[in-house]
Structure 1
């Protein structure tokens, strides 16, 4: 869910922009409602869910790549040892992000998930500052400062450091940073990442079956939901990739707040998570921070067009 994934080409027609908008909105809405799918799998446990998610994502992407005749790109990527070392690292970060996300849903911490993805754009800016030596203007520095205060207020509301929110934002931020160096398409890259994780994922599923029997696999409904984790992972990513090539970066940047907003509402209205006044204040601060950040992005984009 990183709005910095690319920029839209020039002279894109109105129909293409409309289809790109629908695709991007679909991606962010699916990401927003994804916790509901994992809540249905509570009894499976977070490690098994992520293992199955990796396997079924691999299977689903294999069909997609076959239909798109994209396996030549996969072969080229697998044969490039330098790129595959980066894929291995991005795979580790992605699986870590998935584990933390599913565990947080399982333990009733969806509000922290929402907070984590709200601060993710600002984490991306911070990564650019620290690792790339990028200099920030006053508005960007102000946005980061407000976000830092919001994190401290969130810590006060929770009674401890918001490890889930920070963990999700950092793993996804570094994942996006590293993933961009691989130079592979969304389907190709994710297929390679899940392929790297597949031996461990399959090994854990076999271990779970031997230790606990069929378990959730004996329930056709739960097995079907487990299988759905594959397309639920890949489809939003493919929709996002389609949309980002047809829309302006600033448009995608505004859409990226849709997913954590949906997660915020799902946490309160469907999952019944408690939002005390301190935590609400922290969300208010992060929203102010994002408004400053978005205004600055829009202002700089307009300046480049003049």
Structure 2
């Protein structure tokens, strides 16, 4: 099997995993969103620590300790991913899976805007068109919901910011996830300790529920590691197309499994988002082909 095909298989596996993740989160519904988040952080750190021990990758900590700039960046990344995870859990367990799917649909458009604001990138006409259509879609959905779709916007903004920070840091997936989880572990453990002292912890209330809370660490780390393996093997245009698998499956979970409503106005808003993504994706594919064509003469020379 070629590395390219293996990369696509890793990418598909990661996004399918994320697409069906609402089903897993819903099994933990007896615990509150903050408790689930805290367990997810702690057990992610434990799982990745075991993985790093097996592959003997601990020396990276010494190098990282000598680079305070990277530590500051990781601190910011850990805060952004905590907001993303917490809002996602809240959305799933308050029967708003459809809105969480919207957040990951509009995520690419938010990343484009972050590129303009933070990296001073320039957008072409097609990209501005996609952003404009996406803005109209958010307005339509705001009217439909009777409020700003804050869950979707928070998910898109937090993950977009997280991706931007991670791109600048350039850390390997496992090492980066461990440090991010470790930075969040202390407040997570403090919260879990307080929750237990109050008698409100659900940990230990049934073997099945407790096991699911522990396994949340592996369920968090595995798709991230699969994604990292995919990103190292396939071009960004491939990643750009694969990233729509997860929100499509999440939308299916919300509508078909959890029976969340999809009135005509909401469907129209989603249709506008999909139109924006089509424009954005076609432009990305064309740009990728032009760059490839421009490189061929240079490589021949």
> Given the two structures, how large is their TM-score scaled by the length of structure 1?
0.93
- The match for 2:112 is 125
Deviation of 1:215 after TM superposition, in Å, equals 2.9
Tell me how far apart the structure 1 counterparts of residues 177 and 206 of structure 2 sit (CA, whole Å): 29
Tell me how far apart the structure 2 counterparts of residues 74 and 23 of structure 1 sit (CA, whole Å): 27
Tell me how far apart the structure 2 counterparts of residues 68 and 152 of structure 1 sit (CA, whole Å): 49
1:203 to 190, 194, 208: 190
* 2:203/2:213 contact within 8 Å kept: no
Deviation of 1:218 after TM superposition, in Å, equals 2.3
Question: Following superposition of structure 1 onto structure 2, how do residues 62-81 of structure 1 map, counting pairs within 5 Å?
Answer: 62-81=49-68
Tell me how far apart the structure 2 counterparts of residues 213 and 101 of structure 1 sit (CA, whole Å): 22
Question: Following superposition of structure 1 onto structure 2, how do residues 91-170 of structure 1 map, counting pairs within 5 Å?
Answer: 91-170=78-157
> Given the two structures, how large is their TM-score scaled by the length of structure 2?
0.95
Tell me how far apart the structure 2 counterparts of residues 214 and 193 of structure 1 sit (CA, whole Å): 24
State how many pairs are aligned: 293
Change (3 A) 1:93 1:214: closer
Deviation of 1:295 after TM superposition, in Å, equals 0.2
Deviation of 1:213 after TM superposition, in Å, equals 5.8
What SS does the aligned partner of 2:16 have? helix
- The match for 1:4 is none
- The match for 2:266 is 279
- The match for 2:10 is 23
Q: Which sections of structure 1, spanning at least 5 residues, go unmatched?
A: 1-13
What SS does the aligned partner of 1:157 have? helix
- The match for 1:34 is 21
Tell me how far apart the structure 1 counterparts of residues 14 and 64 of structure 2 sit (CA, whole Å): 26
Q: Which sections of structure 2, spanning at least 5 residues, go unmatched?
A: 294-301
Tell me how far apart the structure 1 counterparts of residues 212 and 67 of structure 2 sit (CA, whole Å): 35
* 1:59/1:230 contact within 8 Å kept: yes
Question: Following superposition of structure 1 onto structure 2, how do residues 145-294 of structure 1 map, counting pairs within 5 Å?
Answer: 145-212=132-199, 215-294=202-281
Deviation of 1:214 after TM superposition, in Å, equals 5.4
Deviation of 1:75 after TM superposition, in Å, equals 3.1
